[in-house]
Structure 1
Amino acid sequence: MSREAIEAALGASITGSRALHGGDLSEVALASLSNGRQIVLKRGALVAAEARMLRAITTAGARAPRVLAQSGDLLAMEALPETGASPAGWHALGRELRTLHGAPGETYGWPEPYGFGALPLDNAPRPDWPSFWAEARLLPFVPHLPAALAARVETLAARLPDLLPKSPPKALLHGDLWTGNALFMEGDAALIDPACYYGHAEVDLALLELFGAPHAAFWQSYRETEPGRKARRPIYQLFPALVHLRLFGGSYAGMVRGLLDQAGC
């Protein structure tokens, strides 16, 4: 009944759709409505949680697709005019991310669990940031790793109180920020496909750098970063590398080993 509920909420019927790029872990389509509008439809098990995250992003003042309706496993969002990356778009992304990170939370984590496909994501609050990163973002992968890699991840997790700040500002994070989850428009940018929680703002920056370098215009707009960020970057990049290893297979094992090397473990 989710489609019927979505159509009732929108006041129009869905007359057609075509798949959009992406969709490794969910189905995304550009849909046409009987009133002439176009919307984005996303189907997945966690779209209700995603809708709450998108609303949190817009409440913080950052740009994200507006949630139009959500029912069951279906989410309807506004369709934004994607044009591709440009220096102006990167500048806008830096501004939007800085705005997002300016929204403070009360604890590290998020009010509900989340996940990437079938991979669960523990967002339960922890008393300090090193504990959260160790217990919620690194150690859950240990039972699924080869023994040698598992031991290295456990060693790094034990060292985090000496490597990460104990109580950095609790910034609202996108949580899965790579260039594919930044939608570039004409001189503007929006954040899509979030996996939000509150934590150290450097996490989003590290993820954005994992598969490429942001344009210089991004850094001009985002402005200052904290001393020591380069040393912490591989620790934060290890989490998405472990996610990729778990979801997509052994071709990412080299990335995991390389990041552990950089982190000194």
Structure 2
Amino acid sequence: MTSIADRVTELTGREAGAAVALGARQEWELHRVRLGDGASVFVKAVADRLPDGRLDGLFRAEALGLDWLGRSFGSPVPDVLGWDARTLVLSWVEERPPSGPAARRFGHQLAAMHLSGADSFGASWQGFIGPLPLDNTPARSWPRFYAEQRLAPYLRIAADRGALTPADVRTVERVMDSVEDLAGDPEPPARIHGDLWSGNVLWQDQGAVVVDPAAHGGHRETDLAMLALFGLPFFDQVRDAYNEAAPLAAGWRARVPLHQLHPLLVHVCLFGAAYRTTTLEAARAALRAAG
């Protein structure tokens, strides 16, 4: 069995020392590895207990997504130093405590990343959100893309696993049927992170670095809605600075539940009925916004 240090050496071409375990998340393990030149790298590795092929494409999607986000102006992402099917090596990010000035800078960074744009909704690679496949087939219309590629697949999984009842499914389907009326005025595809909860924001003295993306061309309100969903420190400062740099369209507040519905359905799929009530509240709030 190849060690983590050997994998890092092979993927980066740089001598690596022993790996320090940082715990696990989902179905992969996290490590800090010190290189021979004294620099540190961050390593995600598929757990050895998982068979080959269990998460095929996951690290490819993350590496391509980080590279794509990194080509935006002032992009707040780590560098991809190497990857293969079971390992991803990134530059190490030394975290700092969150602050108001850093939050305002992050708001500007996020706006610049979104405004870098995308060729379409979706992406040229097939994605993942956590360990779940994410359909990135390119589309021209965001409302149908969101309904058919962001809501429908996870609604089916949640229902099949018994975490949502048939009545629950019908409530979410009403949102999908009405999505054109709920989506607001059309916007061009934005270059979004796609899984931007607070745990994927690493604070710096000047702004932040975002990690673990489900990157694709999407609606820019999606990233902001997810930042709000699980409680980002100094979120109001982030949002206000973002709005200064890239003003949000009229009615954006009423659309927050619509954009939160996708990550909530993903959480139902991953963690079960504990997220059922919050998911249904978001669906009903999205429908109420349509009057």
**Shorter-chain TM-score category?**
over 0.9
- Tell me the residue number matched to 1:235: 258
Residue 207 of structure 1 aligns with which residue?
226
**Aligned positions, number:** 265
SS of the residue aligned with 1:27? strand
The aligned residue for residue 162 of structure 1 is: 181
Q: 1:81 to 1:136 in 2, by over 3 A?
A: same
Tell me which residue corresponds to 2:21: 19
Secondary structure of the residue aligned to 1:227 is: coil
SS at match of 1:40: strand
Which deviates more from structure 2 when the two are superposed, residues 241-250 or residues 29-38? 29-38
Identity of aligned residues (%): 32
| Equivalent residue number for residue 107 of structure 1 | 120
TM-score by length of 2: 0.84
Q: How does 1:1-40 map to 2 (within 5 A)?
A: 4=6, 6-20=8-22, 23-40=25-42
**Cα deviation per residue 1:131-189 (whole Å; 9 max; x = unaligned)?**
00100111113333220111111111000111114631110000000111111012331
2:237 is aligned, of 213, 217, 226, to 217
Task: Report if aligned partners of 1:5, 1:71 keep a CA contact under 8 Å in 2.
Answer: no
1:1-265 matches, cutoff 5 A: 4=6, 6-20=8-22, 23-44=25-46, 45=55, 46-61=58-73, 62-143=75-156, 144-145=158-159, 146-165=165-184, 167-212=186-231, 215=234, 216-222=236-242, 223=244, 224-264=247-287
What CA distance in whole angstroms lies between the structure 2 residues aligned with 1:262 and 1:111? Answer: 33
Q: Structure 1-normalised TM-score?
A: 0.92
Contact 1:48 1:73 in 2 (8 A): no
Is the 2:198–2:232 Cα contact (8 Å) retained in structure 1?
Answer: no
Bigger mean CA deviation after superposition, 205-214 or 149-158: 205-214
Task: Classify the secondary structure of the residue corresponding to 1:49.
Answer: helix
Query: C-alpha distance in 2, partners of 1:121/1:233?
Result: 21
Partner amino acid, structure 1, of 2:275: Y
Q: Which runs of 5+ in 1 are unaligned?
A: none
CA spacing shift, 1:213–1:14, aligned 2, 3 Å: closer
